[in-house]
Chains A and B, each alone.
Chain A
């Protein structure tokens, strides 16, 4: 299954969860995820499975403002 994580295509096993996708890009705390423009609470990362072509945004705080 191919999903888009922060604009880059990634191959994940069918039925992979949001938690697995996030683990592929960061292990840090202070991270939030949106799937197809909807925020997925951290408590729901394990239980939320992804589908082909889902778009994930994985964001954190950086210097700014």
Chain B
């Protein structure tokens, strides 16, 4: 870390400090989703501005009337595709969807999502663990979307998941990180990358995730439903980089009272 203190090397740290998932290096710690973008053109501009190298897609029945392909956008941008199991309520549905994604897209990586209900979209931990076990046994690189529960995160890692992805708050809510303490607990004990997934609303939320020690963030709605998706994507890119650098820099401890930054000695006197 001494290199960081020499000004000319600070930017180089950002270049060499790579996210590694399942032995594969990624040049960006911002993982994007594609849901919610009003058009493929807006999506392309936002993904380009974000600098992401890994982006999620969902798997659905083919629609002969669909115009434009999200896969074409990702391929055109040189972005690796990460299929998810969004919308699955049971382990069985999620496992089948993951297998279909592997066949359709030629990747054994999967963002595993097993939700409990449509109202909260919160993960169902029982079904999630069951699906994770089956997929790990079948050779998948499993990235599970999970509750901000340190115990569950630990169990998912023990099963063999390649990362854990705790939520900041419910999907699409924009409420940010509601339990930063739990995220810190997950980070402290994790031996695999921790990716803050879901609930981020704006750039400061992403910076906070990184300052708490997360290895990456995954977000979609905050960008795709922003008034200017490309601008927000660029903001998120900078926020993730800033938060990561701040984490590596080591923040000062919080204090109850002030601590003068100017010396008291040598003050002028009057009267």
Contacts and interface: CB of A to CB of B under 8 A. Distances in A.
Given A30-B105, A65-B113, A25 B66 contact: no
Contacts, number: 100
A33 B24 CA distance: 28
Interface in A1-58: 6-7, 25-26, 28, 30-34, 37, 39, 41-42, 57-58
A42 B58 contact: no
A59 B100 contact: yes
Contacts of B71: 30, 60-61
A60 B69 CA distance: 10
Nearest to B106: A30
The secondary-structure label for the interface of chain B is mixed
Interface residues of B, number: 38
Interface string B100-117: 111111000001010000
B103 A60 contact: no
A61 B63 CA distance: 11
Contacts of A62: 57-60, 63, 66, 70
B43 A63 contact: yes
Contacts of B235: none
Nearest to B220: A65
A25 B33 contact: no
B100 A32 contact: yes
Contacts of B52: none
Contact of A63 (B58, B87, B96): B58
B62 A6 contact: yes
Contacts of B86: 64-65
Interface of B: 33-37, 43, 56-64, 66, 69-71, 81-84, 86-87, 92, 96-97, 99-105, 111, 113, 220
